[in-house]
Amino acid sequence: MKLSDLIKAVSPSLAKGVSDQEIQGLYYDSRIVQPGGLFFALKGTVADGHRFIGLAIERGAAAVVVEDRSSVPTGFPFIQVENSRLAMALMASAFYRFPTRDVPLVGITGTNGKTTTSYLIEGIMAANGVKAAVLGTVSYRLGEMVLPASHTTPESTELQSIMRTMIDGGATGVVMEVSSHSLDQRRVDGCQFDVGVFTNLTRDHLDFHGSMESYLSAKLRLFKELLQPTSVKPTRRAVVNLDDEYGAAVARESVCPVITYSISTTGDVHAVEIKSSLEGISGKLVTPAGTIAFSSGLVGQFNLYNILSAVATGYALGFPLATISAGIANHKKVPGRLERVENDLGIGVFVDYAHTGDALENVLQTLSELKTNRILTVFGCGGDRDKGKRPIMGEIAGRLSDLAVITSDNPRTEKPEEIIAQVRAGAAALGIREYDRATLGEGLRDKGFIVVPDRRDAIGLTISLAEPGDIVLLAGKGHEDYQIIGTTKHHFDDREEAAAALSLRGGAQ
């Protein structure tokens, strides 16, 4: 694309030397710039891209986009903008021929539930003849085309490139998880959303946002700014969880019509006559378009919320109730979201991504309501992330489990023992018994917790203790098949470890 055409996507404060240069690619990392590329100097939390303009030019950049032109060599083409990240998002959308202009795009934001909701919406779209590309925490995929997910929502240049690839590959709709980081950093500003979904807001990412107010403000950008009606997409909708404490604020701030959902009858979309077990959920869906029966293999009240959000989205997109219900019934298993590890021992072994206090509490409350014997929970907290949630999660696991096994998650560059000590403090504050291997070897007689720093060891020990009727929850890593120690990723999959431990007992399937 010619630079003179690409610049039309933004409103620069100044442009010098811009003419008919052919732009071959978009880059924000100076180390990978290719000849004919357009380099965006981004001000990051660690480094300022303006420092690397010289390297980008050496590697063949045709022009640069900057906030501060003082670093640009005299005579070199540049475009000065107020916000380089915003400019990059808008220009990336233009460079990749506006991928989401002509297909329905659903953006899902919230602390928990985004991934499961995306799979459910994919199922609803499929039941309505829409082949959806799904971009999120687990992967970026379209049918058999699967790309690894580096972030829940990738940087704008990668995001627009991926969506163009998938639409050219046959996608007729897009469902994407929209992280608070991506909203704050303008990664999705070049996207043309049809529906924005708000699932909930609970403590997470405060290492980045600093406060819940700032966290909410980032989420609100989707509803206050990116759902503004346009000539391209004049009919836009917001889908909002009215039961969440922040839901009313999101609904109030939304710049387009709002469809609410709720477990109670206050939501536009809600459910009645609910039946729930470890085998799934069934009942009736009440919507403004009528009432219809539904059933799902998903488990628990938190998944009922995910179902309701997907149903409200289907309604917002104008799909018939019958196909919405069929989409819910036929959805695929969601990797690492209460994913069952099959066995012949009568033990319910589940792997779940719950890595926040709210998510862990939701999962454990659900399992508590459905249990027939004990709950044994293995969990930890990630390093280089919000430290404040660690004792909170320790307290939740200790309170809602018969045995909480505190171990490592992804310690990253922190010392695992220091993370564990902070988690342990929350469990210890409950006054429950702290076991060691010797006392636990005598049997689990009292509600309590134990510290087992090595995650493989912790999973093996817990499954060795489980009896028929017990539920074992392996929480925190879900679909992840790695453990980050220092800055290195090591292969590690909770599902594989659980299957190996069950096999030692002769019970793996």
Residue 456, annotated as binding a ligand: no
- Backbone φ and ψ of 484, nearest 5°: -95, 115
Spatial separation of the C-alpha atoms in residues 239 and 237, rounded to whole Å: 7
Burial class (CB in 10 A: 0-12, 13-18, 19+), 461: buried
Q: Is 411 annotated as a binding residue?
A: yes
Q: Is 172 annotated as a binding residue?
A: no
Q: How far is it, in rounded angstroms, from Cα 277 to Cα 261?
A: 22
For residue 445 the two structure tokens come to 């007689």
Annotated ligand binding at 414? The verdict is no
CA distance 175 to 132: 7
3-state helix, strand, coil in the chain (%, to 5): 35, 25, 40
- The answer to whether 455 is annotated as binding is no
Q: Three-class SS of residue 219? A: helix
- Residue 59 annotated in ligand binding: no
Query: Is 153 marked as a binding-site residue?
Result: yes
Q: Which amino acid is at 209?
A: H
User: 73: helix, coil or strand?
Assistant: coil
Distance CA 6, CA 114 (A): 33
DSSP labels for 226-271? TT---SS----EEEEETTSTTHHHHHHH-SS-EEEE-SSTTSSBEE
C-alpha dihedral, 220 to 226 to 227 to 230, nearest 10°: 160
User: 355-380 burial, b for 16+ CB within 10 Å, e for fewer?
Assistant: bbbbbbbbbbebbeebbeebbbbbbb
Q: How far apart are CA 201 and CA 215, in angstroms?
A: 8
Going by the DSSP 8-state scheme, the letter that residue 334 receives in this structure is: P
Q: Are 339 and 333 in contact (CB under 8 A)?
A: yes
Question: What's the first-to-final CA gap in the chain, in angstroms?
Answer: 54
Tokens standing for 408? 């490592």
User: Is 412 annotated as ligand-binding?
Assistant: yes
φ, ψ (nearest 5 deg) of residue 110: 145, 165
- How many CB atoms lie under 10 A from the CB of residue 437? 9
For residues 330 and 126, the answer to whether their CB atoms sit within 8 Å is: yes
d(CA 41, CA 32): 13
Question: Is the CB of residue 369 less than 8 Å from the CB of residue 334?
Answer: no
45 is known to lie in a ligand binding site:
no
> Does the annotation list 336 as a binding residue?
no
- 409 known member of a binding site: yes
- Cβ atoms of 112 and 201 within 8 Å: the answer is no
Q: Judge whether 290 is annotated as a binding position.
A: no
Q: Is 431 labelled as part of a ligand binding site?
A: no
Residue 260, annotated as binding a ligand: no
Q: Please answer whether residues 495 and 351 qualify as being in contact, where contact means their C-beta atoms are separated by less than 8 angstroms.
A: yes
Rounded CA gap, 307 and 295, in Å? 10
Q: Is 111 annotated as a binding residue?
A: yes
Residue 113 annotated in ligand binding: yes
Q: Which residues are annotated as a binding site for meso-2,6-diaminopimelate?
A: 385, 409-412, 476, 480
Q: Which residues are annotated as a binding site for ATP?
A: 110-116
Q: Which residues are annotated as a binding site?
A: 30, 110-116, 152-153, 179, 185, 187, 385, 409-412, 476, 480
